A and B are shown apart, each in its own frame.
Chain A
Amino acid sequence: KAGVTQTPRYLIKTRGQQVTLSCSPISGHRSVSWYQQTPGQGLQFLFEYFSETQRNKGNFPGRFSGRQFSNSRSEMNVSTLELGDSALYLCASSLGRGQRSYNSPLHFGNGTRLTVT
């Protein structure tokens, strides 16, 4: 089974631009969650999607948004980029959401490294 695939692997953008990152989950996984990882703040939860619906959201400004498609693939978008948005963005998939998902490990991709200059 193919793992979680994130594209692109590296990205360089300029302040004020916007960016879209893509995540393809493991086949059969319906839940996709996104994380931002920086040296200072560690792994921070952005949001989680299940069956095209956002189920949980972390404490990030509205510039960060996401969506999930009917095939469970997900994208996240960051608008009006700031220098502080430079980070490794990780996507994880799991089988389900709700009580079942508590017993469902996350499978992470290797992330997209975003650099904002």
Chain B
Amino acid sequence: AQKVTQAQTEISVVEKEDVTLDCVYETRDTTYYLFWYKQPPSGELVFLIRRNSFDEQNEISGRYSWNFQKSTSSFNFTITASQVVDSAVYFCALIGPYNTDKLIFGTGTRLQVFP
């Protein structure tokens, strides 16, 4: 069975601090795909990134970076120099390769960035 664990329920930081959100996953599939979504206080879900299981390159997009390590089944998300607008709930998600596979979400990490 597939599972995504986000052990950090809530994180609070002060603006300009760096923060890392952890994501650990379990799957029996050899091919799978990982995602991060952001849910700001307004409630919508915003896609941030998709990563294929066969691509372990780390990715950087502005202040956001992702560290994918198959050896530890982790796909962690780091925000550098956090800003108040980063305050949101962040979800990590996993799906297998088939159209009948379901996008499995973690329980989310609530990030609060204080000015």
* Chain A bound to chain B: no
User: B interface vs A, CB < 8 Å?
Assistant: none
